[in-house]
Structure 1
């Protein structure tokens, strides 16, 4: 799906290219296939099966599950850098899982054949649609040639058409209003009157108009903060209700994980102790939620004499190919298993599963001096994994940390269970590939 349409999803421009790009056709086709095909197969063997309470409960459950799965699929696909195909299976697993777990606990009888077949057909339908979308859906955006639009030159996952006159037909000889999905303008620039009328006309005719910064956030997954006034009206203040709900869910999940993974934790601790002398756990003071200092726990991955709780800025940074890292430490870092002891920090309320990574005190104080607004990242609990980690990996240079800060702000601004689910999926992939490990 086009990442642009995470902002708004007008159907007018897209419907002229392919009907299956329209939401109602996608959902209607999915429901017909997921419900109709297995039902027809059953009716061929048993014509009166439709009058069975068992089937009626199943059909009702499938309709709810399919719509819920589709909503999750659309919501997850709105985040930058999320592959269209990668969200289909987890979205429908979650949708169908929630509905049929509820049916199970309500002790309602249902057809397992109908439910399982509907789930598989739903996956098949949206994978097929995804192949069409990949070929058909391209971000084509017209640019109003005023203000700070030069920042868009670095964004390569869109086709930009510079307008020469205040008409969509002027985008290029091969582009017209049917193929342009929206107009991008710097709405803070001093636009001539005829261009202001053009933008107003676009809005009235149903053509989306986006501010430059809005498009940059949608396509890159980063929030750029240049002035304190840009946090007006709490745009970077996360949902307080979700913070409380998430903390409770984090605590419960950490408790279950700690019990379930206890044998693995003991095995890893033993391997760390056997390879080199020193404790199995590494402790370090880091800056966390609302700027509070806490002690983070990790499996030790370096030689004991090089680990220091009160490290300087230079020694707190892990460089690529760092000679201090042990052999078992490299495996733990690549698989992210060295982070597992932070389950203790989650149980103590100091961390979350997902959030900006907590920095060592020496690094955090230095970053605060070097980078404006750095402390804003402490507005949510730090996490074992986060949006910056799944996009960047491990970074140490000031410029890279500045970019990481933009990812952290994007996470805070879009703080939601949907973004957390995306981060979980991408973290699982990273654990298999070792992306960004040092």
Structure 2
């Protein structure tokens, strides 16, 4: 009788453990929604897919005994197309989480859908602060950077170095609008002045008319508030117009390793930027970046590193929660510190914003570079409290005001 009772108790405990370790549809499926051929393809795109795959490989390929699958699609910087893809992924393809999502307009559309569907999304490529502010979601995580972070890191440094008057050249969509606003706030808070601004279409080829307006403004600094190929084209054409030779400086409010690689050190030397990661920081980042280089032919952008880190943390949270249930996984993600090849001891705030150290970097002079991709000098480490807005200013209903 005692043996029978003991066996029954053990069976009940085993059944309880099995019930707790649950994976819907017997697979954890993660969708990389990215830009495969557009303005941000070099800093996201196929590299983001590889980053997600490397995270899965590092984790071991399975979670809770079930396989992990990575799928990918190109949203083409269209909010309606991005939403259509996400809806099919959620409703038909049974995707559990989405990562990357460059383009803030697309990200905001996905945020609304994912909140409705109770699906986790981890944004590495999008920059708008609205994702963790007025349009926050219990299932949304802003992973790598936002416009507040990069503008506070870069604009403040330039103003303090003497760049007191600015002209803003911004891309005409949600990301550019927010970056322009955040940078303007920083410039003015530090005693500078924005004397003019102009907005250009996404994926713009000809910046001549915009740069002429910037030139005629007489501003000491031209703030480049865009990303990807738009940043490259704007800086390249500014050089062709001789703006820096005539005494104006360029401040790229968001600038990537791939942008420097495309433009060259001669054209970009001395440019300040704020970054969430750099491939050559330590042994762990160098080792991971070598694997990435073998797959892609380039070193990772901070957005690639963010996709890798977000996927790895998501899988760890599933393991910790014993299920892929989005509510339980989201809670585990917020309870656990973030540790990966690029990030040590970061945390997630109640609004979904990752609180991480960032770095003020300066592009090296050609003579100081040891070779391809050796482009950044880290000037200083920026504490998380310098790059996130205080909760007292938050409009996210999920967080309590201090």
What's the TM-score once normalised by structure 2's chain length? 0.26
More helix by share: 1
What's the TM-score once normalised by structure 1's chain length? 0.25
Structure 1 or 2, whichever has the larger Rg, is 1
More strand by share: 2
